[in-house]
Chain A
Amino acid sequence: MDITAKVKEIIVEELGVEESEVTMEANFIEDLGADSLDTVELIMKFEEEFDIDIADEDAEKLVTVGKAIEYLKSKIN
């Protein structure tokens, strides 16, 4: 499974943003317009899609697309 592509696809769908905006550096709240509810929904979607549990302490740190991808790759492999 191409984790990077899947994560980007989820972000595009959940946040209703253009794929071109979903760069590695993009911050969910500042750049992609997410609010606190969106970020919770996004984490829940990752958990569901990749069948993993993401602890709240970890979730707080996943503020950019790159950080989320890096974290999910480490959890899944």
Chain B
Amino acid sequence: MEKLGERALKEIEEATSLAALEEVRLKYLGKKGEVTGLLKTIGSLPKEERPAFGAKVNALREAIEGHLKEKTAFLERKALEERVKRETVDVTLPGNVPQVGSLHPLTKALREIVQIFYGMGFTVYESREAETDEMNFVKLNLAPGHPSRDAQETLYLTETTLLRTHTSPGQIRGMLDMKGKLPVRFIVPGRVYRRDQMDASHSPVFHQVEGLVIDRHITFEHLKGCFLEFARGFFGPETKIRLRPSYFPFTEPSAEIDVSCTICKGKGCPVCGRTGWLELSGAGMVHPNVIRNGGYDPDEVTGFAFGFGLDRAAMLKWGIDDLRVLFENDLRFLRQFEGI
């Protein structure tokens, strides 16, 4: 029996493949195997020898099984290692690319803007695009015959209705919806229309973002602070702003807001006309008449408003030099905004 054991262990040792090992297993532990055969002889032994014999054979079987298991694991690992060594792919081949979409740069820019203003306590007010002459002009101190009406070439629908020339009627509608609650802090993003031919910097259809704040104790200094925070958030923390007197019938005092050039950082380049500054926004303290038209008392509250071109802001942010590409929707353009 001992010899059988030694022989079995030696054969296990010498087996070099899983198949050879299986043969060894069958030879000794299979139904007709030698160890199995030994067990079958147990019946021919005297009764008192049987337990000892049985224990011995079982010990032998367990020893062989143990070695088989060990050797199997060894051979399996070896086979796996060899397979891994053989297997290789050309990793420079392209992978299976999932299809990625993109947001339009105007939406991307607007989302950033909206987030910055959320941080300053603003909400979003959406206002209609087809407007009355009354809302678009008269309620904003632009009575018929006002010279500023000419500057805004208007697309009229009827004698009294038009496509809004600016997002400013949203100031009136927004205030009226607030019904006297304070503070008023909202932005009005949206599409506006002018009677302009399409070229690199004009379009009959473009977009603006209007902002309005009405409260007690709002001054020109808050306008400056609020816009500075926005400009830094949108164009980068080193951005500077500059306010120049200007004129809008619905604000007084009025200002033109320049931001330091996003391209040259204020040093002067062709984009900013070598001035280091880019005109971005019109702004000012809300005219008392406009506050009144929004259902608030100008003797009790003051406020500021601003409005700027979303298209222009997006163009400056991403260095787009022609307004038309925003509306052409060429795939080669749109693709560049994946993930931005």
A binds B: no
A contacts, CB < 8 Å to B: none
B contacts, CB < 8 Å to A: none
